[in-house]
Amino acid sequence: MSLLQIAWRNFWHRSLSSILTTLSLALGVGLVVLVLSIYGVIHEAFTRNSYVGYNLVVGPKGSPLQLTLNSVFYLSQPIENLPYTEYMEFFSQEERAAMVKKFGGDEELAQRGGRYAPFIAGGFAIPLALGDYFGEFRVVGTTPQFFEKLRHGENLDQEFTFREGRALKEHSKEYGYFEAVVGARVAHDMNVGVGDTFNPTHGDPSGHGHDLGFTIVGVMDPTGTPNDRAAFVNLEGFYLMDGHAKPVESDDEETSTDETTNGAAVGDTTIDAELPATNPGEFKLLSIPQREVTSILVRNGNIMFAPGMQNAINEGIRAQAAAPVGEINKLMNLIVGPLMSAMLAITLITCFVAAVGVLVAIYNSMNDRRRDIAVMRALGARRETVTAIIVIESMIVAVIGGILGWILAHAAIAMASQRIEDQTGIQVGFLSTSGYELYILPVVICLALFAALLPAWSAYRTDVGTNLSA
């Protein structure tokens, strides 16, 4: 009979004690695996979603991390707003002139190209306007470029697709100002679909809604990004809601032109909210002085231009540019990482306590086994053989406990996978693992070796004559 078979019989000879000891070790291992998995999900949720095709986020001066959280993840509160003229700095003279002609504003804005336009060539700048809610979800005012330019997926090569309907379109006779697209989770939680309407609430999810409502024209497929948790509305419709026009000085009013998109006058400081939403052609677009953006998603045509443009923006007095990936790495390193390390330390202590339990269980059994050990020694077994049996028995507890703990933890993760996906967009399953888990079983075996030292030493010193005559 091999030493492993002898150790295995000893394990089952005290089955209740062995099973309870193994279970306590399994629970400790399971806690460690769960902590590592939670950290992996959080890390992937932040890092994978920290950009979907853009490399910089531009917003008002303040905290770059807060700018990233509210513009990329739709968390936290917006710092402030930027004048629309800051957004225009990303466009060429021809594009700026077209904006002035379309919306009305200072003619001098059309006389030059934007300061950052040379850095953008081949890229894009997409405005975001935040502040309203649809239920608990953020309403994001943006342009159709959001759906045309941005990509998602592991290789950033997947376009946004729609379960129902379509993306936002530029205003025309066919497409109105008050159209909206909702993310997959918004559609699920709010039980809405194409053709439904909603009235955004102004700054408070449970507050009074705006009088003007948006009609849902598209429901996005799940993307695993924060966009699943947002409702996107046409930026012009967002501006037309009451309270969204920036008050302008009288001088600015005078500079507004009478140009209009649909033949209506532009340049009034207030919006005639009494006009019916079903006739969007009668709405007056806000002039440039009345417009603000919360942030701008920027993609440089040549990524090598990004540092230069970021420095140029940050040297200004109004705006700042933040690299989302860098800010999220800081968040993980400074806040999330230490918290998870503390949790991991606690769970490792749990494993250590479980290992002490293994020591106590085997050591306590030594009193019952001294006569058996003495018989083995009398039959010719060497001291090293008896010691090895004790160590192997501890290894059996460690291996079974480690594997059982891993299985229990991943079973729990698999059962919670749908909720994790709903909350973070991260798909996890029973076999979703992190690289750190490879180290768990070796660590547990080392702990078991440590726990076996004292009982093994006791077995090694067992006196044959005394125990046979007892």
Are residues 439 and 291 part of one domain?
Answer: no
Has residue 259 been placed in a domain? no
322, 351, 376: which is the final residue of a domain? 322
Percent of the chain with pLDDT over 90: 27
pTM: 0.72
Asked, for residue 406, whether it belongs to a domain, the answer is: yes
Residues 353, 27: contact at Cβ < 8 Å? Answer: no
One-character DSSP codes across 51-62 = -SS-SEEEEESS
Task: Specify the DSSP element, H or E, that contains 190.
Answer: helix 184-190
Backbone angles phi, psi at 289, to 5 degrees: -60, -25
Give the model's confidence band at 467: pLDDT under 50 very low, under 70 low, under 90 confident, else very high: low
Query: Residue 125 has which token pair?
Result: 């700048």
353 has a pLDDT exceeding 70: yes
How many structural domains does the chain have?
Answer: 2
Q: What percent of the chain has pLDDT over 70?
A: 87
Confidence of residue 203 (pLDDT cuts 50, 70, 90): low
- Nearest of 106, 83, 110 to residue 255 by alpha carbon: 106
Res 43 pLDDT > 50: yes
Q: What is the pLDDT of residue 254?
A: 47
List C-alpha distances in Å: 12 to 9, 16, 215.
5, 8, 68
Kindly tell me the burial class for residue 352, based on how many C-beta atoms sit within 10 Å of its own C-beta (0-12, 13-18, 19 or more).
Answer: middle
Tell whether the model's pLDDT for residue 274 goes beyond 50. Answer: no
Question: Could you tell me which residues come within 8 angstroms of residue 210 by beta carbon, excluding any fewer than 6 positions away?
Answer: 132, 199, 200, 201, 202, 241, 242, 243
Q: Are 395 and 358 in contact (CB under 8 A)?
A: no
Round to whole Å and give the CA distance between 223 and 202: 27
Q: Are residues 383 and 409 in the same domain?
A: yes
Overall average pLDDT of the 386-407 stretch: 89
Report pLDDT for 269: 37
Read off the tokens for 380: 């010719």
Q: Are residues 350 and 412 in the same domain?
A: yes
For residues 204 and 94, state if they share a domain: yes
Q: Please name which of 164, 230, 243 lies closest in space to residue 203, comparing C-alpha atoms.
A: 243
Among the ranges 1-10, 96-105, 322-331, 338-347, which has the highest mean pLDDT value?
96-105
| pLDDT-based confidence at residue 52 (cuts at 50, 70, 90) | low
Considering the domain boundaries, does residue 429 fall inside one?
yes
Q: What is the DSSP string of 200-266?
A: -EES-TTSPBPSS-EEEEEEEPP-SSGGGGEEEEEHHHHHHSTT-SPP--HHHHHH-----SSSS--
Residue 293 sits in the same domain as residue 235: yes
Per-residue confidence band for 393, with pLDDT thresholds at 50, 70 and 90: confident
Same domain, residue pair 212 and 290: yes
253 in any annotated domain: no
24 has a pLDDT exceeding 90: no
428 lies in which domain range? 3-47+332-469
- Cα–Cα dist 452/441, whole Å: 16
Last residue of a domain, one of 297, 322, 347: 322
Structure-token pair, residue 412: 């729990």
- Integer Cα distance of 75 and 329 in angstroms: 17
Whether residue 75 is contained in a domain is answered as: yes
Per-residue pLDDT averaged across 456-468, rounded? 75
Dihedral sign, Cα of residue 208, residue 214, residue 220, residue 226: negative
Task: State residue 266's pLDDT score.
Answer: 37
pLDDT above 70: residue 27:
yes
Residue 91 binned pLDDT confidence (cut-offs 50, 70, 90): very high
Contact 64, 322 (CB under 8 A): yes
- Report pLDDT digits (tens) over 206-254: 666 788 889 999 999 988 788 888 999 999 999 998 888 888 765 554 4
Q: Are residues 219 and 351 in the same domain?
A: no
Give the count of beta carbons closer than 10 Å to the beta carbon of residue 416: 15
In a domain, 314, yes or no: yes
Which of helix, strand or coil describes residue 162?
strand
Q: Quick one: 30 and 116 in the same domain?
A: no
Question: In this structure, what are the phi and psi dihedrals at residue 133, rounded to the nearest 5 degrees?
Answer: -130, 150
Residue 320's pLDDT band (cuts 50, 70, 90): very high
Residue 255 lies in a domain: no
Separation between Cα atoms, residue 289 and residue 153, nearest integer Å: 38
| 359 in the same domain as 299 | no
List the one residue out of 434, 357, 348, 436 whose CA is nearest residue 394: 357
Which one of 270, 292, 322 terminates a domain? 322
Q: Which residue has 């749990």 as its token pair?
A: 350
**Structural tokens at position 434:** 């992190």
Same domain, 188 and 91: yes
Residues 231 and 302 in one domain: yes
Residue 293 has pLDDT above 90, yes or no: yes
**Position 412 in a domain:** yes
Following DSSP, what letter does each residue of 130-143 receive, concatenated? EEEEETTEEEEEE-
Up-side HSE of residue 37: CA atoms within 13 Å toward CB? 26
How does pLDDT run across 244-264, given as a tens digit for each residue?
888 876 555 444 444 444 433
Report the chain's mean pLDDT, rounded to a whole number. Answer: 82
Are residue 365 and residue 455 in the same domain, yes or no? yes
Contacts of 188 (CB under 8 A, 6+ apart): 422
Look at residue 385 in the predicted model and tell me its pLDDT: 87
